[in-house]
Amino acid sequence: MKEKVTIIIFSNDLDKVLAAFNIAIGSVSMNMDVTMFFTFWGLNVIRKEKSIKKPLNWMKRMLGLLNRGGADRLKLSKFNMLGIGTSMMKKLMKKSNMPSIKELISLAKESGVKIIACNTTMEIMGISKQDLISEVDSIAGVATYLATAKESKINLFI
């Protein structure tokens, strides 16, 4: 039985998501089983850039205009400065040979990290399965999260 790591990704801040993937990929490379549970703003990380058009009430449509998906759209939690800070940080990451979030998602997926999307938030926000990237393993709720988390050596809320 491998040791387990379970991470809730609540945030879609570039910096925090970066930390989450570094821990996740580090854990699999140390032969641990990793589950990443994406909820609330974190769902944006595993959403396609373009949402599928569907009949939604005006509130979900407005929320969709503000709260856009796509791993390339993540911003720094500090010093975003209309995108300049975020863009500089991305360049600094590249200079240090650090992969982008998109590359980290692929890397995580390839190395066996399990990617779960939170169904409760999806319903509230009007996000459907087709809006999610193909790397998502499953859509599940808090019971699934808890079943894995209580068997995990490391639990984090990011």
Cα 38 from Cα 69, distance rounded (Å): 13
DSSP 140: E
State which of residues 88, 103, 112, 129 lies at the interface with a second copy (CB under 8 A): 88
Using CB under 8 A as the binding rule, whether residue 15 contacts a second copy is answered as yes
Cα 75 from Cα 112, distance rounded (Å): 26
- Closest to a second copy by CB, 100 vs 155, is 155
Using CB under 8 A as the binding rule, whether residue 95 contacts a second copy is answered as yes
- Cβ atoms of residues 115 and 51 within 8 Å: no
Cα 60 from Cα 124, distance rounded (Å): 8
129 CB contacts (<8 Å, ≥6 apart)?
139
Cα 76 from Cα 87, distance rounded (Å): 9
Site mask, a second copy, residues 27-66, x = CB under 8 A?
x-xx-x------xxx---------------x-xx-xx--x
Least gap, CB of 22 to a second copy (angstroms): 5
In the numeric block, the tokens 């449509």 are attached to: 61
**What residues numbered 96-125 form the site for a second copy, per CB under 8 A?**
96, 98, 120, 123-125
* Site residues (vs a second copy, CB under 8 A): 3, 5, 8, 10, 15-16, 18-19, 22-23, 26-27, 29-30, 32, 39-41, 57, 59-60, 62-63, 66-67, 77-79, 85, 88-89, 91-93, 95-96, 98, 120, 123-125, 141-143, 145-147, 149-158
